[in-house]
Structure 1
């Protein structure tokens, strides 16, 4: 009996060591990526002629639109505010020479997808960036204290990813190539108290993306979920950038280098390091009343001091 227990403990220890060894190998890619597995300059353009970006009027979506246009793709920008789309489209066309098509759509609604489908007819779409999203409560708060925007949040953060993917994935499958980037959040990597609804919707994006990648990777399609932490955008009230908080342009440019890393990436080295550090914190610490109270006070103060909150 004692020998069996010893062998069991040895096996468990070996599996734990193997798990962390694999994490270290994956993590090392971020340091060695350009030497280890550099993407050819023509990679993004080789996926197809057009890239579709949701939530493209500002923030991360705007940055992806510019960056993919610089890689030679024509851009379809989809967002709610027509004036923002027109201004960004004009800037992209003038600076890159790429064609830009704009589609006005409010992703908090559920009756927009037939019009989007008709507007995309005939386009060879090689890249889809499911970026559009919203936060239930910018400042941390308990679920019942947040605003009553639950259905809007579900439509925007979950339905948009599923329905846009369904619209575009079929043609990618026929052509046996394509890239789908689903923008989730670091808050979706684990249940995040005081951001419970936002965290849950972003966790769905993580699970959905990884499941799809398992289904379609053999068909030449890359589906990657991107889980950034703090990015300075209108959604985050233009929080002050620092070594951890990236500007949208900085983040997007770096994240495109990590498309070959695997089915999930934080998008930049700083956020990947932060994610690995957070993984060492036991869940019972994160979910304790003391931790939540400390986070509620200090995070609220930090956001108020470093964000453009009206």
Structure 2
């Protein structure tokens, strides 16, 4: 009996060591993408002729649209504000020579996907970037004090990811190739008090993306969720940039190095390190009243001081 128990404990110890080694290797691969071979030239273009980007009129969506066009893809730009879409389309065509299409729509509505499907019909779509999203309040806020935009937020942050993926994935499956990038948030990695609604909606994007990757990874389709922290965009009131707060262009350029790094990534080194640090904080501290007071006072003041007027 003692020998059996000893062998069992040895096996458990080896299994724990292997799991720890796997986690370390996974962290190294996310934190140090340069240790792995870079994407082959033309990799993104090999996915298909067209990329589709939601929320393409500004910020991260605009940056992805420009970068994918520079990689040789034509781009379908989808967002709400026609003037912004036209400006991005003109910039892409003049700087890269690639073709663009514009779809003006409001992702806070649920009745838009039939017309989007008609607009996308016949295109060889190789890449989908589900970027569109809304943040109820940049400042930390209790749930009952959050602006009453629950249904709009669900449509924009959740429904858009499911429906756009549904429209595009079936054609990727038939071609056995494609890339889907779903933009979530660092606050989705675990529940964030005072950002509860936004955190929960972005956590859905993480769970959906990881499950979908497991379903379709054997069919030649790459599905990855990105969980960045602070990016200076109109949604974050153009926060001043620093080591942690990146511009949209900086984040997008770096995130493209992580495409083959796994099912989830923060998208840039600074945010990977920040996520690793936050993951070390015990839950009893992170969810304490003291922590919430810190967010409501010091972090709120920091945000107010670093918002740029536009």
Give the 3 Å change call, closer, same or farther, for CA 135–288 of structure 1 in structure 2: same
SS of residue matched to 1:225: strand
Shift of 1:101: 0.4
Shift of 1:12: 5.9
Work out the CA distance in 1 between the residues paired with 2:5 and 2:287.
33
SS of residue matched to 1:243: coil
Partner of 2:40: 40
Partner of 1:236: 236
1:152 paired to 2:134: no
Work out the CA distance in 1 between the residues paired with 2:29 and 2:106.
38
Give the 3 Å change call, closer, same or farther, for CA 176–302 of structure 1 in structure 2: same
CA deviation string 1:281-304 (max 9, x = no partner): 111211111111112211100100
Give the 3 Å change call, closer, same or farther, for CA 281–7 of structure 1 in structure 2: farther
1:111 paired to 2:111: yes
Partner of 1:89: 89
- Give the conservation status (yes or no) of the 8 Å contact 1:37–1:260: no
SS of residue matched to 1:223: strand
Matches within 5 A, 1:172-183: 172-183=172-183
Give the 3 Å change call, closer, same or farther, for CA 93–298 of structure 1 in structure 2: same
Partner of 2:292: 292
Work out the CA distance in 1 between the residues paired with 2:175 and 2:252.
26
Shift of 1:188: 0.4
Give the 3 Å change call, closer, same or farther, for CA 5–240 of structure 1 in structure 2: farther
Shift of 1:231: 0.5
SS of residue matched to 1:22: helix
- Give the conservation status (yes or no) of the 8 Å contact 1:77–1:100: yes
Partner of 1:277: 277
1:20 paired to 2:20: yes
Partner of 1:189: 189
Partner of 1:224: 224
- Give the conservation status (yes or no) of the 8 Å contact 2:31–2:273: no
Shift of 1:18: 3.5
SS of residue matched to 1:106: coil
Work out the CA distance in 2 between the residues paired with 1:145 and 1:226.
28
Work out the CA distance in 1 between the residues paired with 2:156 and 2:5.
51
Work out the CA distance in 1 between the residues paired with 2:145 and 2:181.
32
**Structure 2 alignment gaps of length 5 or more:** none
SS of residue matched to 1:234: coil
1:211 paired to 2:211: yes
Partner of 2:199: 199
- Give the conservation status (yes or no) of the 8 Å contact 2:213–2:223: yes
Partner of 1:247: 247
TM value normalised by structure 2: 0.95
Partner of 1:124: 124
Give the 3 Å change call, closer, same or farther, for CA 12–238 of structure 1 in structure 2: farther
**Structure 1 alignment gaps of length 5 or more:** none
